[in-house]
Structure 1
Amino acid sequence: MTGRLEGKVALVSGAARGQGRSHAVRLAEEGADIVAFDACRQLDTVEYPLSTPEDLKETVRLVEQLDRRVLATEADVRDSDAVGALVAEAVDRFGRLDVVCANAAVTGFVDDTWSITDEQWDQMIGINLTGVFRTVRAAAPAMIEAGNGGSIVITSSSAGTKGMVNLGHYCAAKHGVVGLMRTLANELAPHWIRVNSLHPTGVNTPFINNDHIRGFIEANPSWAANMQNALPVDQVEPVDISNAVVWLASDEARYVTGVSLPIDAGFAQR
């Protein structure tokens, strides 16, 4: 443990597995105590397996193994009451909140944008955009009141930088969080709270390594050809994104705010 975040408390949504688990563990490795939450249940519009309560327990085990404190609960980012209650409990238990990692998201391919059902649209926007808003809305007042400044890191996507066919609802949400980030960066700057977004390419997690995503790509080779990175790697690792989270949360990035940071192996340059 190098201690760049010693004494800090970090809230991570979507923490049961994948990038969220990786972020929680890396933040803990740097000395932060962790507040972790995830819905841990399946949704009707998502065509691949989502996280489970057992996944969240494993995240807790990994954080505790690093001798850091952790508060974890099953909560949906769309549930304002649940997220607000978790933030209140975290501040009561740990005395502060310094880092917010708004990471929870779902994805899924569609034939085209005009075939998206109301339910598909509402769940995608609800989790990937509204869920970010509700997470930050719950956390920001506690961070302001504490007076310690802080860092909010919002996970967008390469799909938040350009349009991608068959992902209209996902692209809309991931573009939306960038506008939210930029506004929050201005609003929270007087409180020394920095707000940035991350834009990963494909990451080696169950989010994309599942039958739904693989099946669509195999059936649409022209689409897959358009998804190549500039660097000769198909996917990056979760820790590659987590290292950026740690940097943005640390004093090393104390003057970095309002930035859309690609960790995309050059995908945006193709």
Structure 2
Amino acid sequence: MGQLDGRVAFITGGARGQGRAHALALAAEGADVVVADICADVAAINYPMASEDQLEETVKLIEEHGVRALGLRVDARDTEQVNGAVAQTIAEFGRLDILLANQGIVDFSTVETTTDESWATIIDTNLTGIFKAIRAVIPQMRKQEFGRIIATSSMGARATAPNLAHYIAAKWGVIGLVKTTALEVADFGVTVNAICPGAVGTDLFFNQPTYDIFCPDLPKPVTREQFEKRLDDLNYGLNGVRYLNAEDVSRTMLYLVLDRGLISGQVAEIGLLGPARSIY
């Protein structure tokens, strides 16, 4: 018997990384899980997005816990796709108890060099897409008089850093969105919180654009080994931990999901972004 038997979770950005770790943590507690991901590359972003194979693998891993799982291709920026995925979840599973609005992408540029396309892509994915997912689930959660909504923000919304104005603006916006929504649903058994992880060892952190921004003095392409050595040289992270594991974040997610309804409109900070000097 799990603590979430009979509950249904919907996770955006669920094919890999934090989304996959969250899905497996919820499944281990008995929840049925729907994972949604774009499964296609995104213009203006210079590293690969999740694949259909990764989405399928996540579904298989969820099912190994003896619960139901569904994988959906969803572009979080698209209102029709988001609303349709939420409606399909409710139709097939009968309810929707947990939303993890988790999708996110990163891009590096100074304010001066940020293009309109890059700005719009980051804001639409990391903020507007979070809003669309939250908006889509509220009617069902209000009807059930139960819901747990958790949005992924970032320690970048607490510490900031250069070269990330669009990313950090979006992540600050997520916190404001969460706090406002928490007040609006406070009398309906629904809680809304944000998680702000520092750097997490996923594809959003381990990619060539990140390697290059941390190691501008090294010939390109920078390797992962060179990047990790630079993190050591900079004493990046907290207590010698250079970056979080996705499972570190999942433990905080579970704490908020399992709360009986007394924690809402709050921001859980996990780890450190690292010294601002480390992002050139």
Aligned-partner Cα distance in 1 for 2:33–2:235? 34
Q: Is the 8 A contact 1:217 1:224 kept in 2?
A: no
1:204-237, Cα deviation, whole Å (9 max, x unpaired)? 1111111221121111699997782232110110
Give 2:148's match in structure 1, choosing from 147, 151, 165: 151
Give 1:171's match in structure 2, choosing from 168, 171, 192: 168
1:26-49, Cα deviation, whole Å (9 max, x unpaired)? 111111101110001001211111
Residue 246 in 1 paired to residue 250 in 2? no
Corresponding residue number in structure 1 for 2:59: 60
Aligned-partner Cα distance in 2 for 1:214–1:55? 23
Corresponding residue number in structure 2 for 1:212: 209
Shift of 1:162: 2.9
TM-score (norm 1): 0.93
Corresponding residue number in structure 2 for 1:191: 188
Corresponding residue number in structure 1 for 2:224: none
Give 1:257's match in structure 2, choosing from 226, 246, 264: 264
- Three-state SS of the structure 1 residue aligned to 2:179 is helix
1:77-122, Cα deviation, whole Å (9 max, x unpaired)? 0111111111111111111111100000100111x11211000000
Corresponding residue number in structure 2 for 1:125: 123
* Residue 61 to residue 78, structure 1, CA distance change in 2 (3 Å): same
* Residues 40-119 of structure 1 mapped to structure 2, 5 A cutoff: 40-110=39-109, 112-119=110-117
Aligned-partner Cα distance in 1 for 2:13–2:74? 9
Corresponding residue number in structure 2 for 1:180: 177
* Residues 221-240 of structure 1 mapped to structure 2, 5 A cutoff: 228-240=236-248
- Three-state SS of the structure 1 residue aligned to 2:149 is strand
More moved, 223-232 vs 174-183: 223-232
Shift of 1:266: 8.3
Shift of 1:241: 0.5
Question: RMSD between aligned alpha carbons?
Answer: 2.2
Displaced runs of 4 or more, over 6 A: 220-227
Q: Is the 8 A contact 1:101 1:155 kept in 2?
A: yes
Aligned-partner Cα distance in 1 for 2:37–2:11? 9
Query: What is the percent sequence identity of the aligned residues?
Result: 36
TM-score (norm 2): 0.90
* Residue 220 to residue 77, structure 1, CA distance change in 2 (3 Å): farther
How many residues end up aligned between the 2 structures? 266
* Unaligned runs of at least 5 residues, structure 1: none
* Unaligned runs of at least 5 residues, structure 2: 219-229
Aligned-partner Cα distance in 1 for 2:172–2:201? 22
Shift of 1:261: 0.4
Aligned-partner Cα distance in 2 for 1:159–1:19? 17
Residue 30 in 1 paired to residue 19 in 2? no
1:227-265, Cα deviation, whole Å (9 max, x unpaired)? 8223211011000111111111113x5311111100115
